[in-house]
Amino acid sequence: MLAIFQRHPRFAITCALGLLCLLLLQTSGPSDPFGPRLGRLYRHGHSSGGDLDTAWRLSQSEHVYQNMLRDRAKLIQKFGPTKNDILPWPKNREFYTLWDFFIPAFNCPHETQRVGILGDGGKWMCGLSRLQDKKDCTIYSFGINDESSFEAGLLELTQHCEVWGYDFSVKDFGPEIRNVPHLAARSHFKSWGLAGKDDPNGRPPMYTLQSLMKMNGHKFIDILKIDIEGYEFPALRSLIEYSKKHNQPLPFGQLQLEIHADRMPGVKDDKKMFKEFLEWWESLEEAGLRPFWTEPNLIFVNINLGTQPALAEYSFINIKADHDVLH
C-alpha cells in the first residue's frame, strides 16, 4: 500500500476519499421529517426499491416544502410586513396574488395524472396506480353538478373502488355514471350537503364528513373530492377539530379541493381576508396536508371578466395518515 502511495499519490488520495465517503453514507441516516413511522420505512425499506424509494422521495419533498414555508414568511415580510397588512388582490402594482403564498411545493412520489374532462371538472391525482387493485377502495365526492367525468374516470381506472356522491342541487350523478350500468353499480348518491355541523332536518340536509363516514361504516377514504362553493372552509375546519380532539390523523389519503377564496364565512373585506385564509390554510398544513398540484379556475375569470381569480383547484396528499400512496 505504501508503495502505491509513493508511486501514485494522487490515485491513493482519491481512493481514500472515496472510502471515507462510503463509510459516512453507511453510518449517517436520512432526515426523518415525518416522524418515526416513515423513519421505520427508511430503516427497513426493501433493497429493490418500494418503501425505501417512496420514503426518500417524501422526505426530500418535505424538505423542499419547509423551504417554501420560509419563502412564504419572507414574501409576507416584504409586502406586509405582517399578515394583517397583506391584501389578497393588490391594486398598487405589487407583484403577487393570494395564490403566490400557497404554491404546491410538495411532489407526488408516484405518477401524477389528470382524471376527468379537460375543462372544469377534471382533477389531478397522485399515484392512482396504487389503488388500481385495492379491494376496499373508497371515494367520496362532494359537489356533482350533473358532471361526473372525474368520478367515472376513477371507477374506470380502478377495479374495486366505490364512490359515495353528495350534492343537494341535483338528484343523481351525471350521465357519465348514471347511463353506464357497470359504473352505476359501484356508486351511491344522496342529495345532501357537506357542512361544518350536522343539520339532518334542514332543507337540504347537511352533515359533517365524520358523520357521513359513521353512517356509511367507513374508517378511511382513499380519495376525497370537495367542490362545494365556500362550504369547504367550515367543513374542513370541523373535521380538523374533530381529528385533534380524538388524537387521530385526518381520515383520507388525498384531497382534490376547489377553493372559493371569495366566500370565506364572516370575511367581508380584503383587509381581513388574507389573515383568515392563511390561518385556515396553516391548519391544513398542521394536519398533514401537502399540496402537490394547483390549477387556477380561469373559466370563472373568463366568464366574469374583470373579476379576481378567486377560485383555484388544489390537490393534496395527507402525509400523517397511513395509506397506499405513502408506501
User: In this predicted model, what pLDDT tens digit does every residue of 215-245 receive, in sequence order?
Assistant: 999 999 999 999 999 999 999 999 999 999 9
Cell of 324: 397506499
Closest CA to 264 of 247, 280, 249: 280
Torsion of CA 38, 42, 46, 47, to 10 degrees: 160
Statement to judge: residues 175 and 297 lie in one domain: yes
Q: Under DSSP, is residue 161 helix (H, G, I), strand (E, B) or coil? A: coil
Statement to judge: residues 174 and 274 lie in one domain: yes
Statement to judge: residues 169 and 268 lie in one domain: yes
In a domain, 83, yes or no: no
Statement to judge: residues 121 and 25 lie in one domain: no
pLDDT higher than 50, residue 34: no
Statement to judge: residues 321 and 202 lie in one domain: yes
Per-residue pLDDT, averaged over 289-302, amounts to 94
In a domain, 71, yes or no: no
- Rounded CA-CA distance 81/184 in Å is 53
| DSSP classification of residue 64 | H
Handedness of CA 270, 315, 312, 154 (dihedral sign): negative
More confident residue, 211 or 13: 211
In a domain, 307, yes or no: yes
| DSSP classification of residue 155 | H
**How much is the pLDDT for 50?**
55
**How much is the pLDDT for 91?**
87
By percentage, how much of the chain surpasses pLDDT 90?
77
**How much is the pLDDT for 30?**
36
Report the number of distinct structural domains present in the chain. Answer: 2
Per-residue pLDDT, averaged over 279-301, amounts to 96
In a domain, 263, yes or no: yes
Closest CA to 108 of 250, 236, 254: 254
Q: Under DSSP, is residue 285 helix (H, G, I), strand (E, B) or coil? A: helix
Cβ atoms of 282 and 230 within 8 Å: the answer is no
pLDDT tier for residue 273 given thresholds of 50, 70 and 90: very high
Q: Which residue has the cell 404554491?
A: 103
pLDDT, the chain, mean: 88
- Rounded CA-CA distance 102/105 in Å is 8
pLDDT higher than 60, residue 7: no
**How much is the pLDDT for 43?**
39
List beta partners, residue 289.
318
Statement to judge: residues 303 and 204 lie in one domain: yes
In a domain, 182, yes or no: yes
In a domain, 214, yes or no: yes
- Rounded CA-CA distance 25/15 in Å is 16
**Long-range contact list for 213-220, CB < 8 A, 24+ apart?**
213/251, 216/164, 216/188, 218/138, 218/251, 219/251, 220/138, 220/251, 220/252, 220/253, 220/321, 220/323
More confident residue, 12 or 63: 63
Helices (H), the chain: 2-7, 9-27, 36-44, 51-79, 149-157, 175-178, 181-184, 209-216, 232-245, 270-286, 298-303
- Rounded CA-CA distance 113/127 in Å is 8
Compute the 3-state secondary structure of the chain and give helix, strand, coil in percent, each to the nearest 5. 45, 20, 40
Q: The CATH number of the domain where 252 resides is what?
A: 3.40.50.150
Per-residue pLDDT, averaged over 147-164, amounts to 98
Cβ atoms of 190 and 160 within 8 Å: the answer is no
Statement to judge: residues 18 and 139 lie in one domain: no
In a domain, 49, yes or no: no
Q: What are phi and psi of 259, to 5 degrees?
A: -100, 130
In a domain, 280, yes or no: yes
- Rounded CA-CA distance 2/245 in Å is 67
More confident residue, 19 or 151: 151
Range of the domain at 214: 110-326
- Rounded CA-CA distance 211/216 in Å is 9
Statement to judge: residues 116 and 17 lie in one domain: no
**How much is the pLDDT for 9?**
52
Statement to judge: residues 114 and 18 lie in one domain: no
| DSSP classification of residue 169 | T
pLDDT tier for residue 266 given thresholds of 50, 70 and 90: confident
